[in-house]
Structure 1
Amino acid sequence: MMHPEYILTLSCPDQRGIVHRVSGFLAEHGCNIIDSAQFGDAQSQLFFMRVHFAAEDASVSDAGLRSDFAALAASMQMNARIDDARRKPRVMIMVSKIGHCLNDLLFRYRSGLLPVEIPAIVSNHTEFYQLAASYNIPFHHLPLAAGASPDAKRAQEQRVMEIVESNDIDLVVLARYMQILSPQMCEALKGRAINIHHSFLPSFKGAKPYYQAHERGVKLIGATAHFVTSDLDEGPIIEQDVERVDHAMDPETLTAIGRDVECVVLARAVKWFVEHRILLNGHKTVVFK
């Protein structure tokens, strides 16, 4: 018999007895802890916890479990949620004309490496409608002309949000979607939108960053996955990685290496999100790997 499984995530002011009270609550409600991780941040004085558990007492209902834990959470000033561990989160991918991250995520999804449902792909271009069709995923072309007026941008974003709401989307992934989201849309998607971008040391902005990096002779190239905020590319960082490069590599080679890093970093961030491993800690994140 398969018992219902849940993932509890929480943050609260650090204090004595948190693990004891949480584990005691689960034991009293007929639950068995499968794995658990916790972290106390001395700087923010917050405590973070992720618990994967099975509900083995059939007399304890889902609603009763949630209601009772809400009372405990309120007594300890917890920001907490309980998610069904077997439910596959619903992910919408947004892309423009560069498709390596989209292609990688779709392959991982089809292969079962990424436990998600993908009910929609949104793009301001038409390049990848056939790729979407090959996975039987609805493709939504929502064009936005260069230099579009604020009204046109708002209208386009409203259509995006309609797709988000009608498909019950849990996470929006900007897989090289080359449009800046408005502050209003960033707020609407707060904590459930992830972006990927290159992150060089030093950093290069604007067109063809890998060509700029080649001109400067960089030795490390990398990528950063982060939550989307109205501060462009400055949201809480989820994952980063780098690859070493050298003088013998041309700009095309750097670009290819950089795209590989972007794919891996974004896939990790998405996987950790859908497995409920990421908790916000101010402008940072706690990631229970």
Structure 2
Amino acid sequence: MILTLSCPDQRGIVSRVSTFLFERGCNILDAQQFDDEETGVFFMRVVFDAEGADPKALRDEFAVLAGHLSMTWTLRDPADKYRVMILASKSDHCLADLLYRWRIEELPMELSAVVSNHPRDIYPHVDLDGLPFHHLPVTKATKLEQEAELWRLVQETKTDIVVLARYMQVLSDGLAAKLEGRCINIHHSFLPGFKGAKPYHQAHERGVKVIGASAHYVTADLDEGPIIEQDVERISHRDTPEDLVRKGRDIERRVLARALRWRLEDRVLLNGKKTVVFTD
């Protein structure tokens, strides 16, 4: 079982949680905690063996303790995998990478759907056989209608997490609010950075020495959501814009995959405009 929690910091939280688990015959396998002294909020992630314990009774009893300590918490059996929907546009490198990692069981998830604003045949190099694929073309006239259809799909497929794998459509404020804390985007630069069209060309013109990518939660503020993971790569004056695009694709793939895996393993906790990430 995986327990995550956050609450106002106070003495004895670790002791009370570990005592609770011990008294119910649970064995702690891994525990990480962080006290944010700036906000006064305490964060914790505990992995434990609950063999023989009744999961429902465990949740009901922990809810009492959580209430006393004003906790925000989750308790999940990792065998109950999150259902993930992947959204993509023309660029398919992140989509292909996530599907490969899912197929080799590197990403512990159930794929609820693949959604694109382009038809399926735009992905000749991506293995989509047997996968639920939905084409939702978006124009200015149909944007709200297609977002309503997308939200219907999220609900119908019981999707837990939505991943924007280079999905080049800006979600409306309304949809972003509905997906708060459960929609991950990959941004093709090291935020904050060059925004708008052709970011790698802008970076090249400015002679930057490092390029990067950022995975973050989607919010109504464009590209301003809590950051989950980032990575960079050094470049030189010899690199062309095409070299930057090629290297950027590699960074985007690994950053998005790491961010999603950490979310699937309940390692990412929201901390206001930031995140606490208990990496492995």
TM-score > 0.5, shorter chain as reference? yes
Q: Does 1:26 align with 2:21?
A: yes
Q: Secondary structure at 1:185's aligned position in 2?
A: helix
Match of 1:137 in 2: 131
1:62-110 alpha-carbon deviations (Å, 9 max, x no partner): 2111000001000110001101122221110000111111111111111
Q: Does 1:87 align with 2:80?
A: yes
With the length of structure 1 as denominator, give the TM-score of the two structures: 0.93
Conserved 8 A contact 2:33-2:45: yes
Structure 1 runs of 4+ aligned residues shifted over 4 Å read none
1:9-68 alpha-carbon deviations (Å, 9 max, x no partner): 000000000000000000111111111100001001000000011113x3x422111000
Tell me by how many angstroms 1:215 deviates.
1.7
**Match among 65, 77, 85 for residue 72 of structure 1:** 65
Conserved 8 A contact 2:165-2:185: yes
Match of 2:49 in 1: 54
- Structure 2 residues not aligned, in runs of 5+: none
Conserved 8 A contact 1:114-1:271: yes
Q: Which amino acid aligns with 2:232?
A: V
Q: Which amino acid aligns with 2:33?
A: Q
Write the distance in 2 (CA, Å) between the matches of 1:64 and 1:17.
Answer: 23
**Match among 216, 222, 234 for residue 226 of structure 1:** 216
Q: Which amino acid aligns with 2:27?
A: N
Write the distance in 2 (CA, Å) between the matches of 1:171 and 1:270.
Answer: 9
**Match among 89, 101, 119 for residue 94 of structure 2:** 101
Identity score, percent = 58
Q: Secondary structure at 1:103's aligned position in 2?
A: helix
With the length of structure 2 as denominator, give the TM-score of the two structures: 0.95
Match of 1:8 in 2: 3
RMSD between superposed Cα atoms in Å: 1.4
Q: Secondary structure at 2:184's aligned position in 1?
A: strand
Q: Secondary structure at 1:125's aligned position in 2?
A: coil
Write the distance in 2 (CA, Å) between the matches of 1:286 and 1:200.
Answer: 19
The number of equivalent residue pairs is 277
Q: Does 1:243 align with 2:233?
A: yes
Q: Which amino acid aligns with 2:128?
A: A
Conserved 8 A contact 2:5-2:45: yes
Write the distance in 2 (CA, Å) between the matches of 1:34 and 1:85.
Answer: 14
